[in-house]
A and B are shown apart, each in its own frame.
Chain A
């Protein structure tokens, strides 16, 4: 039986993880390769790297990082952040990543999704969408939630699917950082509308939040960052808890 996926997210700047961690086992909490290996060993089903480097030098470092991660990690991983051409995607995939995620570049130029999926297959294209509820309507935002781009979440997700997205990664800006649970209603609606897998993001604070979002047909995967980085939730315990509560999960 196909299992639901648990996905830690690592924010990367200039080749280092940005958000701190309190993994006592790590020699260097900022080393993304070491952190990724720790997660893979702990039973993470997949990893997401989000590069927030703004500079050209940071980008070059990213490719080196992908190569290092690929040499060590034996589970799938995606790389996102500033990807705006299929040439960059080629470099990232050739360096050992399995997927890329596109966000604001695809909003600026939706044909980017088709260009990537035609060249490398739909399986490697995650369209990441940040949205928040404005006057009762889920609106797509960029710039860390500061800019409302005037697109409806559900319409954009459907357009992304029709253009060749293989997965949707939906982050609720209203829930992100609250540790009060995922945006269940919006996720349910989104998952019913699209025929590709949906990754839920934003709001994970406790094990029950993962259970709420992974039971039934709300999302195929749950992403989280800080609860894993700070070891508030340990992946082996989380997966055991989910399995004990009837979720199909890889132990």
Chain B
């Protein structure tokens, strides 16, 4: 069973739709018992980091998420709040993966980074059969800097982390649920882990 954490994130329906197209049967839940009995857990998210953390605290989900032992995937803002801290609202986040979420700064480039961009994957189960320079759909104004947990990178203003992994925690900055067939391939990879 795949649990999608329910904390009023905006893209929940899209993630459910994408998983259903793959034949999976995700359950949207804020119940710790259901989340901790799942085979896989997905943390969706669009919007604001501080608002998202507040919503997780309100539902007493922070300790639950930290207790998850199965493959876990954060999407977009869901990935960003897996880190220790976000500059978006200067908020302490889940701390599942070390690092700080940083604001894009540019005099010349548009912010948010919005649209389809190329991703350079590394050898990881989540990125299996994803082509070098495959196109994924991004929309974000903050980014995760590249570090040893980066398993795919993208360039906009600077090279940054497009996907990350630490132990059983995975995160993707782009929206696989909106990235056409290549996004579906990545979600299928997660289901196969």
A residues in contact (CB < 8 Å) with B: 1-5, 40, 45, 70-71, 74-76, 93-96, 98, 120-124, 166-167, 195-197, 220-221, 250
Q: How many of chain B's residues touch chain A, expressed as a range?
A: 35 or more
* Nearest CB of B to A89, in Å: 10
Contacts across chains A and B counted by CB atoms under 8 Å: 90
Known interface pairs A3-B117, A75-B178, A96-B17. Does A124 touch B112 (Cβ–Cβ under 8 Å)?
no
* B contact face: mostly helix, strand, loop, or mixed: mixed
Extra 13 A-B pairs, beta carbons < 8 Å, given A120-B46, A166-B139, A220-B115: A2-B115, A2-B117, A71-B21, A74-B18, A74-B178, A93-B10, A93-B13, A98-B11, A120-B10, A123-B139, A123-B141, A166-B114, A250-B135
Residues on B with beta carbons closer than 8 Å to the beta carbon of A3: 115-117, 135
Evaluate contact between B178 and A196: CB separation under 8 angstroms.
Answer: no
Which residues of B does A touch, CB under 8 Å? 10-14, 17-18, 20-21, 46-48, 110-118, 135, 137-141, 155-156, 175, 177-181, 183-184
Judging by beta carbons under 8 Å apart, are A76 and B137 in contact?
Answer: yes
Residues of B within 8 A of A95 (CB): 13
B17 touches A5 (CB 8 A): no
Q: Roughly how many angstroms separate A94 CA and B137 CA in the complex, as a whole number? A: 19
Q: B148 to chain A: closest CB distance in Å?
A: 25
Find out whether the CB atom of A166 lies under 8 angstroms from the CB atom of B10. no
A75 CB, nearest partner CB in chain B, Å: 6
